[in-house]
Amino acid sequence: MIKQNIPSLLYFIFLVIAIPMTAQTNTEDLQKEIDQTVWKPFKKAFETLDGDALNATYADQVLRVTPQGIDTDNVFKKENVDRFLQNKKNRDQINLDFWFDDRKTNETTSYEVGFYCIGFTSKEGQTQYSYGQFHIVLEKIDGHWKITQDWDTTMIGSQEIDKTFFERQPPQKF
């Protein structure tokens, strides 16, 4: 009787071991897909001052929350285009670095938290840095990952996010 159950027992043990590994691999694959289809183009759009390309990483309807307030009318998209046009006119340069503190992803939704550093260099060569934390929700819409919620802050509790927060980890590489 025991010998007959050994193949079943071995199969069960294999499933118990293999299913979590498959889920982990699937999550990693989804996050790599998001990195290549959203985050790499997002970073490139920032650094090439391409507002339309940046806006293409967002869904048609987005909840955007910043220290300035809540935007449910996609006003930020027009501001992205206008700001980058002004940056180009002024011959400014922008460098964006970020890293993920936590990512939770399934087949249709990803919740991603991290820290960013934006280096803004004027045509005179002076660079100012801006640091913050982001919470992003991405959803797979018509087969494409899009940002549907974007929340940024420059404060955690009553402490301003600065270089020390950002330097806890190296920036994301694509």
Domain range summary for the chain, segments of one domain joined by +: 2-166
On the question of pLDDT at 20 being above 60, the answer is no
Q: Please enumerate in sequence order all residues whose Cβ is within 8 A of that of 56, keeping only pairs 6 or more positions apart, or say none.
A: 41, 45
Q: Quick check: 132 and 153 in contact, CB under 8 A?
A: yes
Enter the tokens of residue 92.
């400014």
Dmax over CA atoms of the chain, in Å, equals 83
How confident is the model over 95-141, as pLDDT tens digits? 999 999 999 999 999 999 999 999 999 999 999 999 999 999 999 99
End-to-end CA distance of the chain: 55
Which pLDDT score is estimated for 8? 57
CATH (residue range 2-166): 3.10.450.50
Instruction: Provide the b/e sequence for 103-133 (b: ≥16 CB within 10 Å).
Output: bebeeeebebebbbbeeeeeeeeeeeeebbb
How confident is the model over 154-171, as pLDDT tens digits? 999 999 999 999 999 999
Which pTM does this prediction carry? 0.84
Distance CA 77, CA 58 (A): 9
